[in-house]
A and B are shown apart, each in its own frame.
Chain A
């Protein structure tokens, strides 16, 4: 027990004593009093009671006893200067007069702290007088996120599903924005297919040799369309701004160049001019303020 606890204890008793003293003054006939008077009287009463206890204890020890008796108390009363007979009369008088019972204010208990879980009990080797264990949430750590599974199977499935959904989303976007061919004659929205744009000279790709640089093709993002400049074809040279956009889109569509280059390049040529969603962004002209 710390000193503050005992002092609080003493303060509480002191306050109760002041209340009793004030009640007695009221019964005597006073309607009000100064604070210092009540304090003085409380101090007097406290000393009186303590002195009473000490002297009655001394009287009991004088006769060789440890626990005081009523006779010891009576001796102490006379020692303090009061009369036992007067005491009896006083008691009789009191029992007739109704003293208003002072309602003692009991201090509100400390609010129960939130208990989040069951506290662990002491192991057998821990003595009981030691404090109990704290709430388990103070020392147990639980992760709030779900651990990512690193198994090969799960990773492959996730990658495949992601790729599939990306492909589907992009093809749907292109089909909705550019020309589309319908699989089923009636409903146009059900399975839209991106329209094939037949080239003017379909045999040119087959006849003319294409200089493929395999290493460059796999690593580079930029790739040129063949039909625009068949004479001077080099996959790494030309890179217009419009072509950059298309090539970037091609890279997204195919992970490792699976779709045939021909279709891709034809789509590039179409997309640059016709698809309004794929046109280059034009910033609005700011009017100069005069």
Chain B
């Protein structure tokens, strides 16, 4: 991933100089290409995190851009991050088996509740350690 990224300083891949490099990197998809692609597809959908919100937080960090698609990329990345954590937490939840089922004739909807236990387990896999006090005094 890092190798591919280093070559992406020149985002326009058509201006690659030597053929040798082309042959070497044939199998590898250049980050520049994929990014161009992604940017073009950005207009297809709107991210769940509103643009205004991500823009606000990026401004706080000093990130200012004329291209709104970059903001969408950032919000997409954040979204993916959260979805990954949520999916991991769901896996944990399913494994534990403590599920409240609403019993109906024929249909049974399994309801999953996100608890701190599942979440902290999922987060620890990503390297974030969360410890909440058991009770508040």
Do A and B bind?
yes
Q: How far is the CB of A75 from chain B (nearest CB, A)?
A: 6
Contact between B70 and A68, CB atoms less than 8 A apart: yes
Contact between B82 and A104, CB atoms less than 8 A apart: no
Candidates B29, B64, B113, B132; contact of A32 at CB < 8 Å: B113
Residues in chain B near residue A48, CB distance under 8 A? 78, 81
Contact between B45 and A95, CB atoms less than 8 A apart: yes
Residues in chain A near residue B116, CB distance under 8 A? 34, 36-37, 40
Of A57, A63, A95, chain B has the most CB atoms within 10 Å of the CB of: A57
Contact between A28 and B66, CB atoms less than 8 A apart: no
Is B5 part of the binding interface, using a Cβ–Cβ cutoff of 8 Å?
Answer: yes
Contact between B77 and A41, CB atoms less than 8 A apart: no
Is A17 part of the binding interface, using a Cβ–Cβ cutoff of 8 Å?
Answer: yes
B114 nearest CB neighbor, chain A only: A33
Is A199 part of the binding interface, using a Cβ–Cβ cutoff of 8 Å?
Answer: no
Contact between A57 and B113, CB atoms less than 8 A apart: no
Q: Is the interface of A mostly helix, strand, loop or mixed?
A: helix
Residues in chain A near residue B50, CB distance under 8 A? 16, 20, 104
CA distance A44 to B78 in the complex (A): 9
Residues in chain A near residue B57, CB distance under 8 A? 13, 46, 49-50, 53
Residues in chain A near residue B38, CB distance under 8 A? 87-88, 91
Give the bracket for the number of chain A residues in contact with chain B: 35 or more
A:31-73 near B, CB below 8 Å: 31-34, 36-37, 40-41, 44-46, 48-54, 56-57, 63, 67-71, 73
A48 nearest CB neighbor, chain B only: B78
Is A29 part of the binding interface, using a Cβ–Cβ cutoff of 8 Å?
Answer: yes
CA distance A102 to B50 in the complex (A): 10
Residues in chain B near residue A25, CB distance under 8 A? 82, 86, 114
Q: How far is the CB of B71 from chain A (nearest CB, A)?
A: 10
Residues in chain B near residue A20, CB distance under 8 A? 48-50, 53, 79
Candidates B9, B82, B93; contact of A44 at CB < 8 Å: B82
CA distance A32 to B5 in the complex (A): 39
Contact between A31 and B113, CB atoms less than 8 A apart: yes
CA distance A67 to B123 in the complex (A): 33
Q: How far is the CB of A44 from chain B (nearest CB, A)?
A: 7
CA distance A30 to B91 in the complex (A): 11
Contact between A57 and B61, CB atoms less than 8 A apart: yes
Residues in chain B near residue A193, CB distance under 8 A? none
Contact between A28 and B46, CB atoms less than 8 A apart: no
Q: How far is the CB of B34 from chain A (nearest CB, A)?
A: 6
Q: How far is the CB of B35 from chain A (nearest CB, A)?
A: 5
Is A101 part of the binding interface, using a Cβ–Cβ cutoff of 8 Å?
Answer: yes
Contact between B35 and A70, CB atoms less than 8 A apart: yes
Is A23 part of the binding interface, using a Cβ–Cβ cutoff of 8 Å?
Answer: yes
A136-154 CB contact bits vs B (8 Å, 1 = yes)?
0000000000000000000
Binds B, one of A77-85, A121-129, A267-275: A77-85
Of A28, A51, A88, A101, chain B has the most CB atoms within 10 Å of the CB of: A28
Candidates A34, A68, A75, A84; contact of B65 at CB < 8 Å: A68
CA distance A82 to B79 in the complex (A): 11
Contact between B86 and A49, CB atoms less than 8 A apart: no
Sample (16) of A-B pairs whose CB atoms are under 8 Å apart: A25-B86, A30-B89, A34-B113, A45-B78, A48-B81, A49-B78, A54-B61, A54-B62, A81-B126, A82-B80, A84-B31, A85-B34, A88-B34, A95-B41, A101-B46, A102-B48
5 new A-B pairs (CB below 8 Å) besides A20-B53, A40-B123, A99-B45? A13-B57, A27-B86, A30-B90, A33-B113, A45-B82
Which 4 residue pairs of A and B lie closest in terms of their CB atoms, listed nearest first? A53-B61, A33-B114, A53-B63, A28-B86
